[in-house]
Structure 1
Amino acid sequence: MRYTIIGQTVPAVECELNAGESMFTQSGGMIWQSQGIKMSTNARGGLGRSLGRMFTGESIFMANYTAEVQGAKIAFGATVPGSLVPVNISNGGLICQKGAFLCAEQTVDLKAVFTKKILSGFFGGEGFILQQLFGSGMAFLEVDGDMVEKTLAPGEILKVDTGNVVAFEPTVQYEIETVKGLGNIFLGGEGLFLTKLVGPGKVILQTQNFNDFAGRILSLGVKK
């Protein structure tokens, strides 16, 4: 499989497949394809994993696209303005924020994972249920705005607004903590919770949180 990232504002990834190669995506991820692509739909990984994906914001059923001829092309598109990030899952896998997954080769698998502190994760909103990508091959993640990559040293701590975390390596410890101080909570405008990431390992962040952006647009409409 060979791929090209197309566009900058709302990008797409176009994949060129050899005969027999296959990609899968959540429902609605495909935006164009050439002749020679066969589509099938299934509950990837069985009922249990399918229900888990539903809680992470992904669709229960996955669409699979298999090349029946050499050099067939298919493209998958981002849903909001931002970036697409190619990641090689063969290097140890990734734990991703819900909604970050776009598409992957068939040799990649995904399942829902839960934060260790269930109550903190639940009240932290976006940090409650995550998804883990494992196996081998290439996957593509959606990033709101621009992508920022950091590599944390052992024991190094990074605190991030929960909605700005995209993914991190399994070696990174992850928990949600409450913002300290009533004044900070009610006047700071940053919400009640922060994500605490502890190294070692790679972390992928996004400069925009589209859910927050959409919420602000809606609030302006209500005020009018």
Structure 2
Amino acid sequence: MAAPALSTPFQPYVYQSPQAVVTPFQILGGEAQVLQIMLKPHEKVITRTGSMCYMSEAIQTETNGAGENAGNVIWQWLFGKLDALTTYVYSGTQDGYIGLAAPSLARILPIDLAVFGGEIICQRDSFLCSINDVSVSPVATRRARPGMFGSEGFFMQKLVGRGLAFITAGGSIIQKNLARGEVLVVDAGCLVAMTREVELELKYAGPFKRAFFGSENLLQANLTGPGVVFVQSLPLFRLAQKIARAMTAPHVRDNPRFFVQIAIIFIVAYITIVSSLLLTDQ
């Protein structure tokens, strides 16, 4: 059956910028990537605190709380606060550099905000760093239904400005260009970022029993175009769930001690029953 007329194929995200002068940078590695940015004298980079991996000398640092988030203390307490931001300013006389590491097994996406109308909405904790005029602030999704559990896709970040921003995503990252009225349904945790024109609505994925007997997330994001959407194949929470299950509930065949424990339980039960019978006979 032919695909719907509004459907456009997914495609890998390719960085593009119309700016004549862009700060040179490199993205190193395949997984858990490192972003290396070349800095000119007095140029600054705003990063998420704790992301610095290495840097040249003569770089001064200043850690700031997210001042724009002061009016959202309750939201941050409920759904997780935004990390503090650190500003790195190069004060040398020649070109310097700084290396910033992704916080997990993640890839780094460069986003020129000028290409996307000066604003991108992304998952919370996705922001890695920015160059030039970019502000970071929290935002709640516009059509989230009450009573939902989890904060993936609900409490997000808004990047505004005309500069260059870098966000992180897990696994493979693909881009979807939505036509007007086209609807895309994704797992809420797989949504990385979207342009401001995209309409987002969160819904329950199904009955509550799926949360206990299935492995799927309860929340789905309905995205309505027009606009651009970025999707990740391996969000951090899925990786964390896999690791937690492997550590706390390994499969029987992968845990030989299970059989030893069962044997000990049967032996203790047998001894207890036999002792009870002998004492009863006496």
**Fold shared, TM-score > 0.5 on shorter chain:** yes
Partner of 1:16: 38
Partner of 1:87: 111
The CA deviation at 1:35 is 1.4
Paired AA for residue 66 in structure 1? V
The CA deviation at 1:45 is 3.0
- Aligned pairs for 1:11-90 (under 5 A) are 11-46=33-68, 48=70, 51=73, 55=79, 57-59=81-83, 61-69=84-92, 70-90=94-114
Partner of 1:98: 124
Report SS of the residue matched to 2:238: helix
- Aligned pairs for 1:158-173 (under 5 A) are 158-173=184-199
Larger Cα Rg: Structure 1 or Structure 2?
2
Distance 1:160 1:46, change over 3 A: closer
Counterpart CA distance in 1 for 2:140 and 2:105 is 28
The CA deviation at 1:209 is 1.6
**Native 8 Å contact 2:144 2:202 kept in 1:** no
Pick the structure with more helix per residue. 2
Deviations 1:38-68 (A, max 9, x none): 1111124356168567755531x31110111
Distance 1:121 1:65, change over 3 A: farther
Counterpart CA distance in 1 for 2:146 and 2:178 is 23
Match of 2:229 among 203, 209, 212: 203
The CA deviation at 1:184 is 6.4
Partner of 1:115: 141
Deviates more, 1:128-137 or 1:175-184: 175-184
Partner of 2:175: 149
Counterpart CA distance in 2 for 1:123 and 1:141 is 25
Report SS of the residue matched to 2:109: strand
Question: Please, what TM-score do these two structures have when normalized by structure 2?
Answer: 0.72
Paired AA for residue 87 in structure 2? N
Quote the sequence identity (%): 30
Deviates more, 1:120-129 or 1:49-58: 49-58
Question: Please, what TM-score do these two structures have when normalized by structure 1?
Answer: 0.89
Counterpart CA distance in 2 for 1:17 and 1:50 is 33
Counterpart CA distance in 2 for 1:112 and 1:122 is 19
Paired AA for residue 62 in structure 1? L
**Native 8 Å contact 1:121 1:128 kept in 2:** no
The CA deviation at 1:177 is 1.2
Report SS of the residue matched to 1:171: coil
Pick the structure with more strand per residue. 1
Structure 1 runs (4+) deviating above 6 angstroms are 182-186
**Native 8 Å contact 2:39 2:96 kept in 1:** yes
Paired AA for residue 138 in structure 2? A
Distance 1:129 1:121, change over 3 A: farther
Counterpart CA distance in 2 for 1:50 and 1:13 is 30
Partner of 1:179: 205
The CA deviation at 1:210 is 1.7
Distance 1:86 1:17, change over 3 A: same
The CA deviation at 1:24 is 1.0
Counterpart CA distance in 1 for 2:76 and 2:97 is 27
Partner of 1:6: 28
5+ residue gaps, structure 1? none
Match of 1:135 among 161, 166, 190: 161
